[in-house]
Chain A
Amino acid sequence: MKSLKLLPLLLALSCGTGFAAAAAPRPPSEKGSLAPDKAALERAQADSGLSPMTPLWLPAGYRFDSLAVVPYHGKKIIHYRYFNGHSVISLFQSPPRTRFEFGKTGRERVRVAGSKGFFARSPEGNVLIWTAGKNRLALVAPLELAELKKIAESIP
Chain B
Amino acid sequence: MSTRNPSLNRSLHVAPFPSRRLNRWAEVVWRVAGSVDVRTKILGMVLALTALLGLAVTLQVRTVMTRVFAEELENRGISVASDLASRSIDPILLNDTYTLHQLLRETVSNHPDALYAFVTDDHGQVLAHTFGDAGFPAGLLDSELLDAAAANTHGDIRHWVYASNEGIVHEMIAPIMAGSAGVVRLGLTENRLQTVVNTVTGQMILTTLLVALAGIVAAMILTWLLTRPILDLVATTREVGRGNLQARAPHWADDEIGTLADAFNQMVSDLDASQRAVTEKEQARFELLKKLITAQEEERKRIARELHDGVGQMLTSLMVGIRTMQRAGNAELNAGRMDELCTTAGETLEQVRTLSRELRPSLLDDLGLAAALERYTAEFAHTYRATDVDLHCDLPTRLSGPIETALYRIVQEAMTNAARHGKASVLSVLVNRRATTVQAIIEDDGAGFDVAAVRKRQSSVGIFGMNERAELLGGTLDIESGPEGTTVYVEIPL
Please determine whether chains A and B interact with each other in the same assembly.
Answer: no
- Point out residues on B near A: beta carbons under 8 Å: none
